Each structure stands twice: as C-alpha cells, then as structure tokens.
Amino acid sequence: MTKTADVTALRASRTHCVQALYDTWSPVFVQCAGTTHQTVLLPVGVTPQATNLEMVRRAGFGGAQRLLDAGCGVCGPACDAANAVPGLRVDAVTLSPVQAELAKQVIERQRLTDRVCVHVADYHQLPFADQTFDALWLLESACYSPRPAQLLGELARVAAVGATLYIKDLFLAGGDFGPQAVRDLQRLRHLWALPRLWPLARWIRWVERAGWQVCDASVLQGANTDWYTGAMIEFGANGLQWNDFGRQFAVHTPAAPIEWCQLVARRSGPARRAGR
C-alpha cells in the first residue's frame, strides 16, 4: 500500500469506529440520559437543558441566525437552542445514521421540523455552501477530530464573516504525566473512540490560523459530571446498580490529564492556510 492509501485507510477506520460507537449506543444513551449527550454540565442548574441554555447565552446566539451544530448527537442541544431563540434555524450534523434517525424523532416531538434539520456528514467536509452560518457550536464533539486544523478551516469556510464559534470540550491538561495518567488517558480514549487529545493552547493557535479571532478560552469552572454519573445508575431488586449505560461506560479514570474548557471565537476574515 502507498503512504497515501495508508492514511486514507486509517482515516476511514477511525471514522468507522466513531460511527459504530454512536450507532450502537445512542439508543441506550437516550434511554438513560435523555437527548443531550455531554459528560459535564455547567454549574447553572441540574439539567442538561440548563447547561445548553447557558451556552446559548455565553455564545451570544440570538435573532434569525443560522446555527451549525457540528457533532449534534440526537439534537437535544439543537432543539433547546431553537426553543430558546425564536427565528434561529439549525443545521445539525452527525456521523451516525442511527443518531440522525433518533434526532428526527426528537425534532418532530418538539415540533421543530421547520427550524431544525439533521444531516449525516463528516464535519471535516460539510455539505454546505461558503459563508452559510452566523453561529456554530461543537459541544463535546470537537475532541473527535483527528485533524483539528482541517476542521477549523472547514468551519471557517461555512461561517459568514462575524459569525460566532462556540466550542465546549475536553482538552489535554498541562504538566508531566506519570504512568497512571498515561494509562487513564489511554482507557478514556479507547472507551470513547477518541483520537489524540491536544492542549487548549494548541487549539487556540489552530483557531486563529483558520481565520477566527479568539474572544475567550477558559477552563469551565464548576463543570461537573453529576448528571452523567446519575444517568448510569438505576434502582434494581438489590438497590442501586449500574444500568446498561453504566455497565459499559462507568470506567474510573481519575488520573487522566484532561480539563474541560470553552473556546469562543469570531470569524474575522479570510482563512490563512490550515496547518500545524
């Protein structure tokens, strides 16, 4: 095989793993956790919806904008945003056809079919024209990109000048890692089919090179996993026990060197050449 064929095959298998993970487990996520699939919530209330609305506020979405939700899950956050902002239209993108089918049900139940539309696509190659969107968000989905510079360039392509980008995600924390930290990080990546993680500082450079102006990049103070952990537990005959979600995903990785952050940026002008 040539080197190019090698890279293409590796990319395809990575994409396939992520798609298979979400195709297999999304029905269980919906059953156990509802329609927002995020590991951490902000300290603004106990429900995922409260966090989604706070992120709408922090991103400053409003009015008759077009929002791209890249890595949308089953569209819980997209519907919360559309309900909160009259006139907002959302295009939501996921790799998983199963998620897209579940998302259609969520959108129909919330009577948002005229304003929220889900697509199966890879966010590195979006099926939208240049400068389509005024607002873009990636909620715990940017971490799945094995090629962040390409992702940010593609987001810049479909963003109108002045558009807002909001990313909430986990990033590699700084410092020297011991063997336990390395092991926990590997377990976390394996469990969630994640590629290599990068520090927030590295993402800031990629964001700026792609033609975005960074407005805020900060650690999410008070972000917590209470909802996520609670979604893994049920009452059984013998009291509290793991449910289907917990049996598969309740893995303890306390030493994993990660931090939860938000990054807000504005599309400032033509993209510079993507690259590291």
Ligand X SMILES: C[S@@+](CC[C@H](N)C(=O)[O-])C[C@H]1O[C@@H](n2cnc3c(N)ncnc32)[C@H](O)[C@@H]1O
- What secondary structure letter does DSSP report for 224? B
| Paired strand residues for 217 | 263
Q: How far is the CB of 273 from ligand X (least distance, A)?
A: 21
Question: 58 near 215, Cβ under 8 Å?
Answer: no
- Which is closer to ligand X, CB of 83 or CB of 141? 141
Using alpha carbons, list the distances in angstroms from residue 229 to 38, 45, 143: 11, 16, 20
- CB of residue 225 vs ligand X: minimum separation in angstroms? 13
77 vs 246, which CB is nearer to ligand X? 77
CA distance 122 to 26: 18
Nearer of residues 104 and 124 to ligand X, judged by Cβ: 124
DSSP, res 196: -
Q: In whole angstroms, how close is the CB of 95 to ligand X at the nearest point? A: 4
Closer by beta carbon to ligand X, 24 or else 241: 24
CB of 238 to ligand X, least distance (A): 31
Give me Rg for the CA atoms of the chain.
Answer: 18
In angstroms, the CA 114 to CA 61 distance is: 19
Return residues touching ligand X (CB under 6 A): 18, 22, 36-38, 71-73, 76-77, 93-96, 99, 122-124, 139-141, 144
